[in-house]
Homo-oligomer: A and B are copies of this chain.
């Protein structure tokens, strides 16, 4: 039975545990600050003065592909703009990349839950779903008949 559809198809290949990769992972796991690549780079340099920023980025990609860490993407790629200024949710198809509006009521109670959990003032939230859109799902069915 093939399992090639598994999203968690991590590890697998012959990855080497270099000191650079180990240090980067350690830095990332020893902070709760959700650091940027550059901050990780500066921290890593305290231990490995010759490490390069490229190495940091490459290792972050490896760790991501192994599901060892996660990325909060505020960067990379490009912004998308929405002519509708009212709060609503979005769905991103990871097959075709399109972004859809999701017609469902706002879950405002989440805001209160988060306010309690953080002790801060929560003014808004952003909710984004990911998966496979209706069109791409149909196509998949046809292809696999």
Interface, chain A (partner B; CB < 8 A) = 7, 25, 28-38, 40, 60, 67-85, 89-91, 93-94, 98-104, 107, 110-111, 113-115, 117-134, 136-137
Query: Are B132 and A117 touching (Cβ within 8 A)?
Result: no
A67 partner residues in chain B, CB cutoff 8 A: 85
Query: Are A28 and B81 touching (Cβ within 8 A)?
Result: yes
A101 partner residues in chain B, CB cutoff 8 A: 32
Minimal Cβ-Cβ distance residue in B for A115: B131
Query: Are A118 and B99 touching (Cβ within 8 A)?
Result: no
Quote the shortest CB–CB distance from A143 to chain B (angstroms).
15
Listed A/B pairs (22) with beta-carbon separation below 8 Å: A30-B83, A32-B100, A35-B81, A36-B80, A60-B81, A67-B85, A70-B81, A71-B80, A72-B99, A72-B128, A74-B77, A74-B80, A75-B79, A91-B118, A107-B107, A107-B110, A120-B131, A120-B133, A120-B137, A122-B129, A123-B130, A124-B131
